[in-house]
């Protein structure tokens, strides 16, 4: 009996061991791909054309398909390309899309209408489709397509390949992809995540423009991010630009209204025009030390940007920080020679700005409507100064005026709390409306070199009672001549008081 029980238990043990071994083999087989079947290709939904290189390119035939599996081979030859479609892309004006206002659903409706027009299901509609062929569209305007599986044999995704695939949620790009053409996923408004292959060699412009649901993306190593790459990717919150990237082209992250964090590489030398335009959620950004230049409007409308370092570069471009409402402190480093027009306009929280002695030019309205800026130290010598640089700086109470021949028009227009001004020797002209609306200005020193004061230069300076007139201008208290500098004067002195 004991022997029989022993045999039974031994058999059970061997059986369990065999089951466990088979399970382990099955798991290993699945993970290593031994038993995992390739997804069945949806050949009936696809069309193929030979490339002339012993390979095939594939495009969509059935525009009602919602899921598509592309085969790795067709007629025994590898499938290496998703067909592109030159000329399919339309401008925002043609599509009647309005930047920053149209929703993904509204754009989807426009795309659906356009798809009907292209297929002939409706009349001519509102779109000009002249010159657009209906064939060879890749997968462009496949508005029903939700998922596509691409095999490892594919190396190229053509121009406009998935343009307007507004229902596409999921796509897995194989590691074999070397090239993605311009506009490849433009208007794929439902696409949520994409893993770009690490060995990607070329990525065209506007590849992910208007992918409004895209919330995560990796950027492979490359030297340049092309223009409009992530334009209007409003769900994107965090991006790391890898080391090795030297240039961000224009509009790369424009309209990424949900973008909160961006890591830039130390290799970056150029940031293009409007690269971060309208990134309303961006709070902090560290710029690389080797940065050589920025395009205009680069941080225009970054309303949440609290602080930023400015690297050594010769020029701050026009409207660089326009309407950066939360920016409160800025240090412009030595080496900067020019601050262009409207560079800091409407930085409503800006209280303090440090300017370098290397600065020789400030463009018109550079600090206009910075209504919390209370003081500023200007460089000793300024060669060029544009009109209205402190226009509407309603909290500016103290400023030193550098040596310059001409004070431009509207330089301190409506600086309501500016109370004392000393014009240095060398100033020859005070232009029209230079101090208009400075209602608390009570004292001014006019230098010996002054020969001209423009019309309305001191309009509404109702408390300007004391004028030290060291110039040769013949001022009369109460007179509206010479820009009204003495209109409200009670004391006009021809020399400064003893120290």
pLDDT exceeds 50 at position 143: yes
Q: How far apart are alpha carbons 217 and 236 in whole angstroms?
A: 8
pLDDT digits (tens, 9 = 90+) for 23-56: 444 444 444 444 445 678 889 999 999 998 899 9
In sign, the C-alpha dihedral spanning 443, 449, 452, 454 is: negative
DSSP 331-356: EPPTT--EE-TTTTTT-TT--EEE--
**How large is the average pLDDT for residues 446-454?**
98
Looking at residue 29, what is its pLDDT?
Answer: 47
pTM: 0.86
Mean pLDDT (whole number) for 158-162: 93
pLDDT tier at 98, thresholds 50, 70, 90: low
For residue 487, give both structure tokens. Answer: 């209109």
Residues in CB range of 409: below 8 A, 6 or more apart: 387, 388, 431, 432, 433, 434, 454
CA distances (Å), origin 293, targets 227, 271, 287, 298, 317:
16, 7, 11, 11, 8
Tell me the average pLDDT across 246-271: 97
**The pLDDT value given to residue 42:** 87
Q: With a cut of 50, say whether residue 274 has pLDDT above it.
A: yes
- Closest CA relative to residue 331, chosen from 313, 308, 348, 349: 308
Tokens of 182: 């311009």
Instruction: Tell me: pLDDT of 286 over 60.
Output: yes
* 1 pLDDT above the threshold of 70: no
The per-residue DSSP string of 283-309 comes to -EEPPPTT--EE-TTTTTT-TT--EE-
What share of the chain in percent tops pLDDT 90? Answer: 76
More confident residue, 354 or 91: 354
d(CA 219, CA 91): 26
pLDDT at residue number 488 = 97
pLDDT at 129: 46
User: What number is the average pLDDT over the span 296-313?
Assistant: 96
Q: Would you say residue 126 has pLDDT above 60?
A: no
Q: How far, rounded to the nearest angstrom, does the alpha carbon of residue 424 sit from its chain's CA centroid?
A: 41
pLDDT at 87: 63
Q: Assign 413 to helix, strand or coil.
A: coil
Query: In the structure, what pLDDT confidence band is assigned to residue 113 with cuts at 50, 70 and 90?
Result: confident
Q: Bigger pLDDT: 5 or 80?
A: 80
Please give the Cα distance from 291 to 243 (Å, whole number).
Answer: 13
The pLDDT assigned to 6 comes to 55
Tell me how far apart the alpha carbons of residues 161 and 159 are, in angstroms, rounded to a whole number. Answer: 5
Cα-Cα end-to-end distance for the chain = 124
Greatest CA separation for the chain: 134
Q: 133 or 303: which carries more pLDDT confidence?
A: 303
What average pLDDT does the chain have? 88
- As a whole number of angstroms, the distance between CA 331 and CA 337 comes to 14
How many CB atoms are closer than 10 A to CB 55? 18
Select from 62, 57, 253 the least CA-distant residue to 161. Answer: 57
pLDDT of residue 15: 52
Separation between Cα atoms, residue 105 and residue 297, nearest integer Å: 29
Instruction: Answer yes or no: is pLDDT of 350 > 50.
Output: yes
Residue 345's pLDDT is 98
Give the model's pLDDT for residue 3. Answer: 54
Across the range 159-182, mean pLDDT stands at: 93
Q: Above 70 in pLDDT, residue 125?
A: no
Percent of the chain topping pLDDT 70: 85
Average pLDDT score over residue span 382-388 = 94
pLDDT of 135 over the 70 cut:
no
Residue-wise pLDDT tens digits, 67-91: 999 999 999 999 999 988 766 665 5
Sign of CA dihedral 49, 51, 56, 61: negative
Q: Which pLDDT score, from 0 to 100, does residue 479 have? A: 95
pLDDT of residue 63: 87
Question: Residue 223 pLDDT > 80, yes or no?
Answer: yes
**pLDDT confidence band for 57 (50 / 70 / 90):** very high
């Amino acid at each position: 009996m004991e022997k029989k029980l022993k045999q039974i238990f031994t058999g059970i043990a061997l059986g369990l061991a065999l089951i466990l071994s088979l399970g382990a083999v099955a798991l290993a087989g699945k993970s290593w791909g031994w038993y995992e079947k390739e997804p069945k290709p949806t050949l009936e939904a696809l069309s193929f054309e030979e490339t002339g290189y012993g390979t095939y390119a594939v495009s969509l035939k059935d525009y009602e398909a919602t899921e598509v599996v592309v085969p790795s081979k067709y007629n025994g030859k590898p499938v290496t390309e998703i067909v592109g479609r030159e000329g399919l892309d339309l401008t925002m004006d043609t599509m009647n899309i309005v930047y920053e206002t149209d929703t993904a659903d509204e754009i989807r409706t426009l795309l659906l209408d356009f798809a009907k027009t292209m297929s002939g299901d409706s009349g001519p509609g509102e779109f000009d489709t002249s010159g657009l062929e209906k064939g060879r569209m890749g997968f462009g305007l496949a508005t029903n397509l939700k998922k596509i599986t691409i095999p490892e044999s594919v190396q190229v995704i053509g121009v406009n390949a998935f343009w307007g695939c507004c229902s596409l949620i999921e796509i897995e790009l194989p590691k074999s992809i070397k090239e993605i053409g311009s506009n490849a996923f433009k208007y794929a408004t439902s696409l949520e995540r994409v893993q770009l292959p690490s060995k990607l060699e070329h990525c065209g412009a506007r590849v992910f423009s208007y992918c409004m649901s895209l919330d995560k993306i990796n950027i492979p190593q490359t030297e340049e991010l092309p223009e409009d790459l992530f334009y209007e990717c409003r769900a994107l919150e965090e991006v790391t630009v890898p080391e090795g990237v030297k240039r961000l082209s224009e509009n790369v992250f424009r309209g990424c209204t949900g973008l909160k964090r961006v890591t830039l590489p130390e290799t970056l030398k150029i940031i293009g025009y409007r690269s971060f335009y309208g990134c309303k959620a961006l709070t902090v950004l560290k710029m690389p030390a080797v940065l050589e230049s920025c395009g205009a409007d680069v941080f225009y409308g970054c309303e949440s940007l609290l602080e930023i370092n400015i690297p050594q570069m010769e020029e701050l471009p026009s409207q660089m920080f326009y309407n950066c409402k939360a920016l409160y402190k800025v240090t412009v480093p030595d080496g900067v020679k020019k601050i262009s027009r409207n560079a800091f306009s409407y930085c409503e929280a800006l209280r303090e700005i440090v300017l370098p002695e290397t600065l020789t030019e400030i463009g018109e309205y550079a600090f206009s409507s910075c209504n919390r800026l209370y003081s500023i130290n200007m460089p000793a010598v300024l060669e060029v100064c544009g009109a209205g640089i402190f226009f509407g700086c309603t909290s500016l109470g103290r400023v030193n005026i550098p040596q310059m021949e001409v004070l431009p028009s509207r330089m301190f227009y409506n600086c309501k709390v500016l109370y004392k001004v000393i014009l240095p020797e060398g100033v020859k002209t005070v232009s029209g409306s230079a101090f208009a609306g400075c209602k608390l200005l009570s004292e001014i020193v006019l230098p010996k070199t002054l020969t001209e004061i423009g019309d309305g230069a001191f309009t509404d300076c109702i408390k300007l009672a004391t004028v030290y007139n060291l110039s040769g201008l013949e001022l009369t208290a109460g007179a509206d001549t010479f820009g009204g500098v003495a209109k409200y004067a009670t004391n006009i002195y021809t020399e400064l008081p003893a120290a």
